[in-house]
Amino acid sequence: MKFDDLITSRFSARSYTSEKVDRSIVLEILEAARMAPSAVNFQPWHFIVITEKEDLNSIHEVYHRSWFKEAPVCIVVCANHSQSWKRKSDGKDFADVDAAITIDHLVLKATEL
């Protein structure tokens, strides 16, 4: 898929099927996220893949959206502030920027697949 086609076909899903997502697809998505650039290449992120219905229901308890409860897989991206680069001039912690970039890679790969 050409990049322009990819970015114009991306959308925020609000409806899901209960169909399981193949593990190989999840691994491809995670690899794309892992390859995202980060400040000083520190890669201060962790991914938690949730596929068990009971665990997905637990997440729904803190994020009350019916469409979210239907998703067969949830990838939680966590930024680790103890591992992220901090700019010396003002102390800016780049964990949020790095996490946002990796999420963008994750979403674009999922869109492609």
Q: What is the per-residue pLDDT for 1? A: 84
Q: What is the per-residue pLDDT for 37? A: 98
The pTM score is 0.90
Ranges of each domain in the chain: 3-112
**How much is the average pLDDT of 54-70?**
86
CATH architecture of 3-112: 3-Layer(aba) Sandwich (3.40)
Q: What is the 3-state secondary structure (H, E, C) of the chain?
A: CCHHHHHHHCCCCCCCCCCCCCHHHHHHHHHHHHCCCCHHHCCCEEEEEECCHHHHHHHHCCCCCHHHHHCCCEEEEEECCCCCCECCCCCCECHHHHHHHHHHHHHHHHHHC
